[in-house]
Chain A
Amino acid sequence: MKYIDEFRDAGSARGLAAAIARETDASREYRIMEFCGGHTHAISRYGIADLLPANIRLIHGPGCPVCVLPMGRIDSAIELALEHKVMLLVYGDCLRLPASAGMSLMQARARGADVRMVYSTQDALRFARDNPRREVVFFAIGFETTTPATAVAVLQAERDGLANFSVFCNHVLTPPAIEHILGSPSQAGDVALDGFIGPAHVSTVIGSRPYERFATDYGKPLVIAGFEPLDVMQAIRMLVAQLNEGRAEVENEFTRAVTRDGNLKAQRLCAQVFELREAFEWRGLGVLASSALRLNERYRGFDAEARFRLAARSAPDHKACECGAILRGSKRPSECRLFGTACTPERPMGSCMVSSEGACAAHYSYGRFRDAA
């Protein structure tokens, strides 16, 4: 697979590992947060930690849209499917998301809900066209990478007069979440983060510019990195260099598809359809201002929340759940007493266990041999 296999080459990985080992300063620790669940997944799946010196500590961030979605939102989706009897279209990732009282969309399906999996919003539009008598709702979820596809679908639905189509919008934004982590007053036991790995795919859309003020305002370096293992290792190397030299800049490792400005067309389409929510709840992080999108006034007719008068729901997490501390980097997954006992990938209790990209699920599924050793 061109442009994939080359970025997984073991020889180059050894070369990068040797370079990182050479270039790190043994007298200090490097605490690096990979914000994005995709990076967490890559680090775990390829065993990248084994190739790094012990003084590089990777802290898994909250950048997994299914992990941070609060249960109340999934409860609302289930309400759409079970009570309003809509045809609910979801990405495969969402089917297992835990809702309150042990429910999930998969469980709702077992109770008669019409929940179907789609791969693309184009498929969602096709379902709406093929079922003109049904209300068809697309469960929109994801960061900036995924948002433009929803915008295109809404614009297309308007153009084609698909009045039975609407969107349950859960799109969230990356920069406010990183800023929250940077700006949150440190709590007892928190580790200070030295730098960030930023997600390349988000930046194919938003570019690198939105991060620039973090480097200046908070003095933390950020490197935008691709998701192949060599990309992640090279980003770590670039962060090590910045930290050694006392620099705090936004650098771009994924020059093959990320520019400073990103995809202006995609940004324009999103701006046409969406507006900022004043606040949105993130599972594990709490309520963050200006951190999510909804359909704007002009497209409110396609907003399932308005169309079906969905009330805001809130469902608290388990009291013993340490997801918040884990997402801030102050606890490791194995330090949560629910980890691996009450909370497992089969029955996730906290956001970090929900998808294989969550910090706890990744550690459980790929890394827990390290605890046994």
Chain B
Amino acid sequence: MCLAMPVLVLELTSDDQAIVDLGGVRRRVSLALVDAVQAGDYVILHAGYALQKLDREEADRTLGLFADLARLDAS
């Protein structure tokens, strides 16, 4: 259910929309559901709409936890 993916906001365009990028693929999406998004932000995209900003610090924290476990496993 609810396929969504993190995408990078490249630029804001008129009418509450933005151009986003995912691995070189670009698409125009709606920002009607989120406030204060800026170029350079990552957002969670679902069916053409940004649903939520992605908190990069939290993402890095989660990844740090995984990396610690991977190191523990490798050692």
Interface residues of A (CB under 8 A from B): 1-4, 6-7, 9, 11-12, 14-16, 18-19, 36-38, 63-65, 91, 119-123, 142-143, 145-146, 148-149, 152, 199, 201-202, 204-205, 227, 230, 234, 253, 255-258, 263, 265-266, 269, 357
Partner of B59, one of A3, A91, A119, A265: A3
A256–B2 touching, CB < 8 Å = no
Task: Give the nearest-CB partner of A39 in chain B.
Answer: B1
User: In chain B, residues 18-75, which have Cβ atoms closer than 8 Å to a Cβ of chain A?
Assistant: 22-23, 29-30, 32-35, 42, 44, 46-49, 51-56, 58-59, 61-63, 65-74
Partner of A256, one of B23, B35, B47, B62: B62
Task: Give the nearest-CB partner of B4 in chain A.
Answer: A201
A120–B3 touching, CB < 8 Å = no
CB distance from A186 to the nearest CB of B (A): 25
CB distance from B26 to the nearest CB of A (A): 13
Known: A119-B47, A201-B1. 11 other contacts (CB 8 A): A14-B70, A15-B68, A15-B73, A18-B72, A120-B48, A145-B1, A148-B49, A199-B1, A234-B65, A263-B51, A357-B1
**Residue from the set A64, A121, A122, A258 with the largest chain B CB neighbour count within 10 Å:** A122
Q: Helix, strand, loop or mixed for chain B's interface?
A: mixed
Known contacts A38-B1, A65-B1; is-contact A14 B49 (Cβ 8 Å):
no
**Residue from the set A16, A199, A263 with the largest chain B CB neighbour count within 10 Å:** A263
A204–B74 alpha-carbon span in the complex (Å): 34
Task: Give the nearest-CB partner of B65 in chain A.
Answer: A234
CB distance from B21 to the nearest CB of A (A): 10
A201–B55 touching, CB < 8 Å = no
B58–A266 touching, CB < 8 Å = no
Partner of B2, one of A15, A19, A202: A202
A164–B58 alpha-carbon span in the complex (Å): 44
Q: For B70, list chain A residues within 8 Å (CB).
A: 9, 11-12, 14-15
Task: Give the nearest-CB partner of B3 in chain A.
Answer: A38
CB distance from A371 to the nearest CB of B (A): 25
A122–B48 alpha-carbon span in the complex (Å): 8
Q: For A256, list chain B residues within 8 Å (CB).
A: 54-56, 58-59, 62
B2–A36 touching, CB < 8 Å = yes
A255–B54 alpha-carbon span in the complex (Å): 9
Interface: B8 (CB within 8 A): yes
Known contacts A63-B1, A65-B1, A122-B30; is-contact A18 B42 (Cβ 8 Å):
no
Q: For B61, list chain A residues within 8 Å (CB).
A: 255
A11–B1 touching, CB < 8 Å = no
A255–B68 alpha-carbon span in the complex (Å): 18
CB distance from B68 to the nearest CB of A (A): 8
Q: For A266, list chain B residues within 8 Å (CB).
A: 33, 51
B47–A91 touching, CB < 8 Å = yes
Partner of B34, one of A38, A64, A65, A263: A263
A148–B8 touching, CB < 8 Å = no
A257–B52 touching, CB < 8 Å = yes
A269–B33 touching, CB < 8 Å = yes
Q: What are 13 A-B contacts defined by CB distance under 8 Å?
A: A3-B42, A9-B70, A18-B69, A19-B69, A120-B30, A142-B2, A146-B2, A149-B30, A202-B1, A256-B56, A257-B52, A257-B54, A265-B35
